[in-house]
């Protein structure tokens, strides 16, 4: 849940899905369901971080290719 909150703060609230999955996993009592929700939270976080890296890389490439 910490990772989801940090990526949400860093990226203007676009990782709400990761927070929701993490919160559901923390509140669930069934071990199998908790494991599944935690897995989906991590998948959401990894996708979000990957998109963030792509966006930053795109801005860097754009900045290099445009001559000012």
pLDDT at 13: 61
* Residues 18, 60: Cα–Cα separation, whole Å: 27
pLDDT at 12 over 70: no
Domain ranges of the chain: 2-65
DSSP string, 1-59: -HHHHHHHHHTTS--HHHHHHHHHHHH---HHHHHHHHHHHHHHHHHHHHHHHHHHHHH
Is the pTM higher than 0.75? The answer reads no
Longest dimension (CA), the chain: 58
CA distance 68 to 50: 29
Tell whether the model's pLDDT for residue 55 goes beyond 70: yes
What's the whole-number mean pLDDT along residues 45-66? 90
Q: Tens digits of per-residue pLDDT, 14-52?
A: 678 888 888 888 888 899 999 999 999 889 888 888 888
């Amino acid at each position: 849940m910490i990772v989801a909150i940090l990526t949400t703060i860093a990226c203007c609230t676009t990782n709400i899905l990761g927070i929701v999955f993490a919160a559901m996993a923390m509140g669930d009592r069934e071990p199998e369901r908790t494991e599944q929700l935690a897995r989906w939270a991590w998948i959401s976080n990894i996708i979000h971080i990957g998109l963030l890296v792509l966006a930053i890389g795109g801005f860097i490439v754009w900045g290099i290719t445009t001559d000012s």
